[in-house]
Amino acid sequence: MPRGDKSSYTDKQKRQAEHIEDSEKKEGRSSAVAKRIAWATVNKQDGGGKKTTRTKSASKKTASRKTPARKSASR
């Protein structure tokens, strides 16, 4: 995937970037700067492209595997 390829982003992330870009243009920034700021903001919020989501059953399994908190050594 070449640099700058946005195909790995969800539709929601693309809409967010477009909205941010429009807002930056209204503030008087150039198109290139507005686009850079928009995608940097989306990356900061979401950590990049598409991410897999966890289901409720998966989170319940991991919760049951957690060890209980240790009691303090001093009594």
**Backbone dihedral region for residue 57 (phi beyond 0: left; psi -120 to 50: alpha; all else: beta):** alpha
Q: What domain count does the chain have?
A: 1
CB 10 within 8 A of CB 42: no
Domain annotation covers residue 73: no
pLDDT category, 24, cuts 50, 70, 90?
very high
- Distance in angstroms between the alpha carbons of the first and the last residue of the chain: 59
Spatial neighbors of 21 by CB under 8 A, at least 6 apart, are: 31, 34, 35, 37, 38
Reported as a single tens digit per residue, the pLDDT across 31-67 is 999 999 999 999 998 887 776 666 666 555 555 666 6
In a domain, 70, yes or no: no
Question: Global pTM?
Answer: 0.62
Residue 12: CA count within 13 A, CB half-sphere: 6
Q: Which domain holds residue 43?
A: 7-47
